[in-house]
Homo-oligomer: A and B are copies of this chain.
Amino acid sequence: MMIVMNVEATPAQIQAVVDRIEGNGFKPIVLNGEERKVIAVIGNDPYQTRDQYIFLEGVDRVMPISRPYKTASREFLPENTVFPLDGIKVGGDEIVIIAGPCAVESRSQLLETALAVKEAGAQVLRGGAYKPRTSPYTFQGLGEEGLEILAEARELTGMPVVTEVTTPELVPLVSKFADVLQIGARNMQNFALLHAAGESMLPVLLKRGNSATIEELLMAAEYILSHGNQRVMLCERGIRTFETSTRNTTDINAIPVLKAQTHLPVMLDPSHSTGRWEYVIPIARAAIAAGADGLIVEVHQNPEAALSDGAQSLKPERFALMVKQVRAIARDVGRC
């Protein structure tokens, strides 16, 4: 941590900062810049005490040096985290394609879609039984009935299932049916839920909040990892910006940034990150070209009749085309 002093800070003010640092058990080093003094604070995580210095006379600002996440950081664990999910290796050479409808709407809808996406090349099935919706007046999901349908689809297709959990008390129930717990963007900082997902020891797909920084995403992962649950996939799904021609702005930069800063697998959801089916295929290709480990894509047999997110869902035929194109690009970047 660095404490930057004002240009006109007095020796007595500097001494007061030094005394406070020592009183907290850290070691101060005063640096005499051309313009001002800067005091380095040496020790184990001194940034926890930052607020103490802000109020002292003559202090301009306090800057952290270390990043606040540890277990998620590639600095401390340089090797990629790779974990099996049925026969697939998440984070390995092969890119992972997760697909299915936004919401489980009915038994026939889910089973048909599951078969269709499997045939088109998906390896994992997605589908929501509990839906967080902006309006209380819209479809909120089938709940436990939806979970049972998902389990049946797994039996039928052999594909593992990803489904969202929205509140800590649902974790035990959802864990009985799901292979991967999804934590949605709106819940990325629902810390009680992160703890519960961490304790479940199931794999977790953690979506980035639409206004969360990359650092905050990694801190949220840290909540899960702190329970010893290492099987976390991070998922970029678009951030909120001033641009309104798409539902969100795909932060494609987040792919190489995350690959550099963490060892965890990194996915992209081009359905939510664009909000329009016309843009899903180009952005899916871009994600793999940028180095993502996989995709999660909304597919619906009949998007115009979908109960949610129809406008951003691919039909199975177009999804099949997407799979073909992204696998070709995967090979160009040394994946498969």
Contact = CB atoms under 8 A, between A and B. Distances in A.
Contacts of A249: 239, 241, 249, 251, 253
A309 B310 CA distance: 38
Contacts of A252: 250, 252, 283, 286
A255 interface: yes
Contact of A329 (B29, B210, B329): B329
A50 B283 CA distance: 23
Contact of A257 (B50, B245, B253, B289): B245
Interface stretch (A118-126, A133-141, A150-158): A133-141
Nearest to A213: B243
Contact of A2 (B2, B51, B76, B211): B2
A213 B278 contact: no
Interface residues of A, number: 110
A325 B329 contact: no
Nearest to A168: B167
A52 to B, nearest CB: 4
A171 to B, nearest CB: 12
A59 to B, nearest CB: 11
Contacts of A94: none
A282 B78 CA distance: 20
A54 interface: yes
A53 to B, nearest CB: 8
A244 B239 CA distance: 13
B66 A63 contact: no
A78 B195 CA distance: 43
A117 interface: no
B44 A65 contact: no
24 contacts: A2-B63, A2-B65, A33-B66, A34-B43, A45-B137, A51-B309, A55-B303, A68-B135, A136-B195, A136-B226, A211-B240, A239-B241, A239-B242, A239-B249, A244-B244, A252-B252, A253-B279, A255-B286, A256-B274, A256-B279, A260-B278, A285-B290, A325-B332, A329-B329
